[in-house]
Amino acid sequence: MNYNNIFSEIYKKIENTDSGKVASYIPELSNVNSTKFGVHLTTVTTKNFSFGDANEKFSIQSIAKVLALALAYNLENEKLWKRVGVEPSGTAFNSLFQLETDLGIPRNPLINAGALVLSDILISHLKKPKKEFIAFVRNISGISTIDYCPRIVASEKSTGYRNTALVNLMKSYGNIENEIEEVMDFYFNLCSIEMTCQELSKTFLFLADYGTSPFSKVKILSKSKSKRINAIMQLCGFYDEAGEFSFKVGLPGKSGVGGGIVAIYPNKYSIAVWSPKLNKRGNSYKGIKFLELFTTETQTSIF
């Protein structure tokens, strides 16, 4: 199937919708051009389809949590689930409350508290955590230029009080092993990674091919672990909009406040969309809309 025509058809339908606004909680994110729009699809047979600003870098933010999960899951295996759950969190607003009632165990690895635990685990395992993690990401994608963005890191650090609250609360329950400063530094770097839609789509393709990258043939994860990460994305990938995304798009995926979304159609493709304006729940407005129309049009859904 040639997706290029479908991309431009769908884009016409949503081009002039203009809801939502660019993330402003850190200064660096608010500087982005809000009219940008890109999409890139990569099939497990390594075909590529692009549209719009698909080759422009953006901050993938929380999408990177899935990559931290992949590495931590490989290192810890099923022990991982003693320190973080696999259940949806209900609402964003509950996060600190839930962490308190659950005695410092985050609901799942894709909320902030969960990714902070992943960061702590990676620091405990790796000798040079930041260096080894970005090497892991480059290895998955086969793209050696993917990197952290120091400006974003600096910007996050200047306003990351809420995340610092989360990590201190977990430390009080004994669920953080390393120094708080080191955990925060890793976490802010993790969230600062920049990719283009094309890079993002290629990087996540191993999750559409049961753990093995179709490009390099390198096995990143076992089949079972790969499926389980998809299951976690399905239930927890969009905060309190996970149900809505499942309902309308029907694929496992993950969003970031930079306006990016990646979604996986197992055994077929991965797709990355980018549009900076966010809806009220912090997910890309046009990104979700585009994916909804795309999966309807192409009749692709895991359900």
Q: Kindly state whether residue 135 participates in binding a second copy, applying the rule CB under 8 A.
A: no
Question: What is residue 226's three-state secondary structure?
Answer: helix
Say whether residue 247 binds a second copy (CB under 8 A).
yes
**What is the total residue count of the chain?**
303
C-alpha pair distances (Å), 256 with each of 241, 294, 302 = 13, 20, 22
| DSSP H helical ranges for the chain | 3-14, 27-30, 64-76, 95-101, 112-125, 129-141, 150-157, 161-172, 180-191, 197-203, 223-236, 242-248, 285-297
Instruction: Say whether 163 counts as a known binding-site residue.
Output: yes
* DSSP secondary structure of 35-60: T--EEEEEETT--EEEEESTTS-EE-
Position among 43, 59, 108, 196 found at the interface with a second copy (CB under 8 A): 108
* Closest alpha carbon to 202 in 35, 79, 43, 8: 43
User: Per CB under 8 A, which of residues 260..279 are in contact with a second copy?
Assistant: 266
Residue 157 makes contact with a second copy by CB under 8 A: no
Is residue 171 involved in binding a second copy (CB under 8 A)?
yes
96 binds a second copy (CB under 8 A): yes
Among positions 232, 262, 263, 288, the unique one binding a second copy when judged by CB under 8 A: 232
List 40, 107, 254, 286, residue binding a second copy (CB under 8 A):
107
Distance CA 186, CA 106 (A): 18
The binder of a second copy chosen from 18, 100, 179, 181 (CB under 8 A): 100
Interacting residues with a second copy (CB under 8 A): 85-91, 93-94, 96-98, 100-101, 107-108, 159, 161-162, 164-166, 168-169, 171-172, 180, 224, 226-228, 230-232, 234-236, 240-244, 246-247, 250, 252, 266, 296, 301-303
Annotated binding site for substrate: 62, 112, 156, 163, 187, 239, 257
